[in-house]
């Protein structure tokens, strides 16, 4: 059930009406049931996978507080049980295909069989939520919930189920126990986020996707055309993924919940580390807290830090998909981290300390981000290598002109992403309530009309559904 489908709109309206008409003690049960229905609507057997992982993690969390001598074994068993599901459904065929490639290179005719496995949508997201919860309980950072319904709602809450944000128990479970009453201001804030999210997705991302898809299907790519395609995908993936997050956060507000913020102007980053503080924040913070810091973080020797960083970004890349291009993309940021640290350590010129360094650092980091998204977008390694070795001096004048047109076209769609956040800030700073209300509703009406008039004729799944 896609957010942008009529089915979902009907589902959301009915769910909203019934939810607020129920007494508080039934609200949670109702949300769990409709969340499982939402997930089962995509594919019926997904229900059993989600329920099984959730049930195992719930009881493991309780056992961790009741046993002391077997605590570590129970914890490891709980983590492994979640990883087994993730590794099997997402990575089994990837591993088999790579083993077969090695066998073929050795000249042996024998090949292992792959399986016809359907990738459960959102499995990476809710698996990481289960694992994060168990780690928090094991460390003693969070008291495990004894309420099976509460834990099910924490994992399965439908707005965030498919593509996050990756919630923390401390943020979401604590909200579940608090009685909620209808709040008009919160509803309006939720509708604003939903409209903004839909605008990003079906007006910006889906229209740009047409260009991106055509460019990456070219059999004889050109340097400037591919550069325009990389720029277009850079805008597409941000509009698409942040659009989903806005819709999810907006829907959550309609039901009285606040989800974690997932983006903070990532393309204004000045360095790789700054980018990952701004992009997919719920994932980067999860990786930092549960992998990077436990490995030792940066408080170790330089050689160990390099290894820690390698492991971290290898996992970041692999989390995004069972394909080598995602691993290469993750390790690309590992290399960038090393280069930036090298220059910061040995070439700490005064220019890096001036207040105007952002005039160089932001555009340069944006260029590096574009290169990274090129690696992310192209699954075929042969084509990726071909793109990276393209010679700009062999481009024809027609291709250069076409690429300029594409850059301008995509930039026009980018303008709302730049302007609207400042409009929201202006609205928040308006002191006169009546005027602020007028501007708020006027902006929502403009968004709605824009969605109806400018929406793409071909709307696809959100990009991060595949992860």
- What's the CA gap between 207 and 222, in Å, rounded? 22
Is position 280 annotated as part of the catalytic site?
no
Residue 90 contacts residue 124 (beta carbons within 8 Å): yes
- Selection from 77, 85, 48 nearest residue 61 by Cα: 77
- What's the CA gap between 179 and 208, in Å, rounded? 42
- What's the CA gap between 52 and 58, in Å, rounded? 10
Question: How many residues in the chain?
Answer: 467
- What's the CA gap between 327 and 288, in Å, rounded? 18
- Sorted by sequence, the CB contacts under 8 Å of residue 228 that are 6+ apart come out as 211, 215, 402, 403, 406, 407, 410
| CB contact burial 226-249 (16+ within 10 A = b; e otherwise) | bbbbbbbbbbbbbbbbbbbbbbbb
H-helix segments, 140-271: 148-156, 158-161, 169-176, 184-198, 206-215, 223-254
Q: Which of 201, 320, 377, 440 is the catalytic position?
A: 320
DSSP label at residue 269? -
CA angle 22, 24, 26 (to 5 degrees): 65
For 15, 127, 224, 336, 370, the CA distances from 390, given in Å and listed in that order, are 52, 40, 9, 21, 15
CA 67 and chain centroid, separation = 36
For 72, 95, 213, 291, 323, the CA distances from 380, given in Å and listed in that order, are 42, 17, 14, 29, 9
Give catalytic residue positions. 320
């Amino acid at each position: 059930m896609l957010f942008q489908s009529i089915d979902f709109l009907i589902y959301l309206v009915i769910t909203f009406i019934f939810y607020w008409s129920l007494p508080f003690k039934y609200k949670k049960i109702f949300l769990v049931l409709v969340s499982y229905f939402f997930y089962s609507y995509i594919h019926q057997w997904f229900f059993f996978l989600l329920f099984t992982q959730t049930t195992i993690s719930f009881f493991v969390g309780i056992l961790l507080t009741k046993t002391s001598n077997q605590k570590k074994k129970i914890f490891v068993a709980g983590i492994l049980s979640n990883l087994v599901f993730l590794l099997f459904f997402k990575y089994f065929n990837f591993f088999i295909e790579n083993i077969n490639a090695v066998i073929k290179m050795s000249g042996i005719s024998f090949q292992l069989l792959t399986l016809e496995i359907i990738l459960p949508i959102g499995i990476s997201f809710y698996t990481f939520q289960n694992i994060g919860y168990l780690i928090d309980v094991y460390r003693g950072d969070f008291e495990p919930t004894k309420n099976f319904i509460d834990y099910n709602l924490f994992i399965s809450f439908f707005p965030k189920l498919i593509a996050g944000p990756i919630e923390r128990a401390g943020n979401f479970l604590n909200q579940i126990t608090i009685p909620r009453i209808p709040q008009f201001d919160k509803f309006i804030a939720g509708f604003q986020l939903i409209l903004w999210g839909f605008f990003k997705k079906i007006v910006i991302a889906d229209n740009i996707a047409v260009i991106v898809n055509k460019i990456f299907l070219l059999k004889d790519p050109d340097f400037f055309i591919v550069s325009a395609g990389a720029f277009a995908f850079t805008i597409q993936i941000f509009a698409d993924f942040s659009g989903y997050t806005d819709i999810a956060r907006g829907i959550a507000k309609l039901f009285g919940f606040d989800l974690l913020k997932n983006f903070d102007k990532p393309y204004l980053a000045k360095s790789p580390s700054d980018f990952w503080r701004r992009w997919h924040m719920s994932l980067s913070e999860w990786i930092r807290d549960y992998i990077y810091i436990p490995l030792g973080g940066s408080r170790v020797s330089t050689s160990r830090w390099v290894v820690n960083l390698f492991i971290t970004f290898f996992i970041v890349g692999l989390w995004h998909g069972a394909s080598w291009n995602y691993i290469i993309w993750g390790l690309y940021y590992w290399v960038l981290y090393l280069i930036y640290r090298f220059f910061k350590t040995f070439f700490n010129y005064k220019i890096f300390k001036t207040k105007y360094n952002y005039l160089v650092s932001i555009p340069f980091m944006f260029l590096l981000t574009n290169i990274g998204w090129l690696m992310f977008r192209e699954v075929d390694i042969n084509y990726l290598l071909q793109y990276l070795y393209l010679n700009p001096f062999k481009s024809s004048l027609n291709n250069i002109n076409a690429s300029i047109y594409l850059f301008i076209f995509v930039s026009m769609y980018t303008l709302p992403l730049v302007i609207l956040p400042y409009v929201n800030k202006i609205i928040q700073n308006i002191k006169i309530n009546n005027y602020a209300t007028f501007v708020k509703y006027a902006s929502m009406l403009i968004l709605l009309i824009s969605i109806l008039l400018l929406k793409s004729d071909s709307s696809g799944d959100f990009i991060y559904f595949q992860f």
